[in-house]
Every structure is written in C-alpha cells, then in structure tokens.
Amino acid sequence: SGINLEVLPEVGSTNAEVAQRLSGAGGAIPVVIADCQTAGRGRRGRNWASPKGQNLYLSMGLTLQGGFAALEGLSLVLGVAVARALEAMGAEGVGLKWPNDLFADGRKFAGILVEIQGELQEGVVQVIAGIGINVHMTRAEEVDQPWISLAERWPDIAWARNALAANVIREILGTVDTFERQGFAAFRSAWQERDIFCGQELVSRGGEVAGTGAGIDDGGNYLLKTDAGVVPVRAGDISLRVQ
Ligand code: BTN
C-alpha cells in the first residue's frame, strides 16, 4: 500500500481533495498538501486562515477498524502525533487543548479536523484527517482567537515545511497503527503529559458544567472535578474554556 502524496499549489480545502481520492478498500493512503487554501475549514463550522506559502495544510485519508466509536479517540491521538512530530524537530512545551488543539504559551498554533467519509463495511470507517499548522504566518485576518506560529514560538528551529510534513505523516501513520492495535488507553498518559487544562478552573461554553481540569479517561472524555464528584465531558457535546 504506502501513501500517495500530492502537493498542490492551491485548493479549496485539502480535506475535500482527499475526500475525492478516497476509494474503497486497499490501495495507497491518499495525502494532499497545498500551498494555499481558498476555503480552509476548521472545527465547529469555522474558517481556517490559509495564506499562501507560509503554513502547512495537510490531509490524509485513513481507513480505521473499530467503527464510529473509535473516532473520538482518533481525533485525540492525532493531537499527540502532531505534538510528537514537532518535538522530534526540537520544540519544547507543546501543549494540547482538549480535544485536539495544539497550544504554546496560551495560544493556538495548529488544529485538526476529522471528517467522516463513510462506513466501508461493518466496523470499518473511512475518515479524512486534516492538519493545519501555522508555520511562518505573521499576520492573519479573521482569526477569532489568540494564535501563534512555530517560527514565532520556536525561532531557533529551522521550520522547513517539507521536513515538517514528512515528520507529521510518519507520526500519524505510526499512531494510527498503534491506536488500532491498542486503543486509546495506550495514548492516555502521552496526552495528559501535554494537557493545558489540567488544574485549571474550567467551564463549558453553555455554562452547563464547571470544575477543575483533571485529565481524561480511557474513552477520551475530559474529566472535571466538581463539588459533586468527577464529571466526564464528552468531546463533541461540550466545549470547555478557562473560567
Ligand atoms: C480547527 O478548527 O482547529 C481545525 C483546523 C483544521 C485545518 C486543516 S488545514 C488542512 C485541512 N483542510 C482544511 O480545510 N482544514 C484542515
């Protein structure tokens, strides 16, 4: 099998490009990288700022055993994979914000969007994993949250996009393999070592629950310590922020 990598000058969204290249069972894993996106997508219906020549926009088509139940775990372990790829290049202090945003010094520098393509057969799902990393970006319009780029946070590292892409792809392939064989539990401590919410006073965006960040359980739910005990919060149901 292996991968089938295409590097394109400009696309709407690399996730949409990979969706067109995902075909049935077997065959190479489609990977698309673009120099620029005209309709970059983020989680929760947001846009993803995708200026030309500065950042990494990469999507992979993954076929996954374990059915739809495995998808929440997958999106968390992909965060660990990207963190490890950056750490392999020398970055220290890479943080994860549940479920899978990458943070440094309280600012976001990368995001992951997992979209479901469909179910190939019972228990085998195809997904598109899109990774956006701010590499050299210094200015962006319409980013509605504090952000930073790799070059700004780790100026002593030579952030070549080709090397970065190769590391990200390699880490993701290894991570998905381990995840399929051992499940999310194999990544729980790796995820928690990078948890930026741990020990923070948190509240859900709708105000439904509040408590102190206490890591994740083996299902990838975020744990809040409250007066009434430890409450698990499911990804997708609720989003958390620092109070
Ligand atoms: C997030 O909201 O944090 C997820 C952002 C994901 C952005 C990446 S860039 C490559 C891929 N193509 C897209 O349109 N989105 C993802």
Per-residue pLDDT reduced to its tens digit, 132-182: 999 999 887 678 789 999 999 999 999 999 999 999 999 999 999 999 999
pLDDT(238) > 80: no
153 known ligand binder = no
pLDDT for the residue numbered 236: 66
Quote the domain boundaries for residue 48: 3-192
As for how many domains the chain has, the answer is 2
Q: Give yes or no: residues 118 and 209 share one domain.
A: no
- Tell me the C-alpha to C-alpha distance, in Å, between residue 14 and each of 37, 83, 203: 7, 21, 33
Question: For 94-118, what is the mean pLDDT?
Answer: 95
Question: For 109-129, what is the mean pLDDT?
Answer: 94
Place of tokens 């899109």: 130
Whole-number percent of the chain with pLDDT over 90? 80
ipTM > 0.90, yes or no: yes
| pLDDT tens readout for residues 176-205 | 999 999 999 999 999 999 999 999 999 988
Question: For 57-64, what is the mean pLDDT?
Answer: 96
* Cα gap 42→40, rounded to integer Å: 7
CB 109 within 8 A of CB 150: yes
Four-residue CA torsion sign, 105, 220, 243, 224: negative
pLDDT band of 237, cuts 50, 70, 90: low
Q: Give yes or no: residues 54 and 122 share one domain.
A: yes
Q: Give yes or no: residues 36 and 132 share one domain.
A: yes
* Cα gap 224→236, rounded to integer Å: 16
Q: Give yes or no: residues 135 and 212 share one domain.
A: no
- From edge to edge, which strands make up the β-sheet containing 56-65? 3-8, 29-34, 56-65, 124-133, 107-121, 101-104, 95-97
pLDDT for the residue numbered 1: 66
Which atom of ligand 1 is least distant from the CA of 58?
A: 10
Residue type, 163: A
DSSP classification of residue 195: B
pLDDT(60) > 70: yes
**Is 14's C-beta closer than 6 angstroms to any atom of ligand 1?**
yes
pLDDT(30) > 90: yes
- Say which CATH number the domain at 236 has: 2.30.30.100
Whole-number percent of the chain with pLDDT over 70? 98
Q: Give yes or no: residues 238 and 118 share one domain.
A: no
Q: Which of 153, 171, 192 is the last residue of a domain?
A: 192
Q: Give yes or no: residues 151 and 230 share one domain.
A: no
Q: Which is nearest to 188 in space by CA: 214, 219, 233?
A: 219
188 known ligand binder = no
pTM for the full predicted model: 0.95
Concatenate the DSSP letters of all residues of 77-101 into one string. Answer: HHHHHHHHHHHHTT----EEETTTE
Catalytic residue positions, numbered: 43, 108, 241
Nearest CA to ligand 1 atom 2: 42
Q: Which of 166, 192, 218 is the last residue of a domain?
A: 192
Q: Give yes or no: residues 103 and 147 share one domain.
A: yes
Question: For 95-113, what is the mean pLDDT?
Answer: 96
Place of tokens 């990393």: 133
Which atom of ligand 1 is least distant from the CA of 37?
A: 14
Q: Give yes or no: residues 224 and 133 share one domain.
A: no
Site to probe by mutation for ligand 1, drawn from 11, 113, 161 as the one with most ligand atoms within 8 Å of Cβ, is 113
Write phi, then psi, for 214 (nearest 5 degrees).
-135, 30
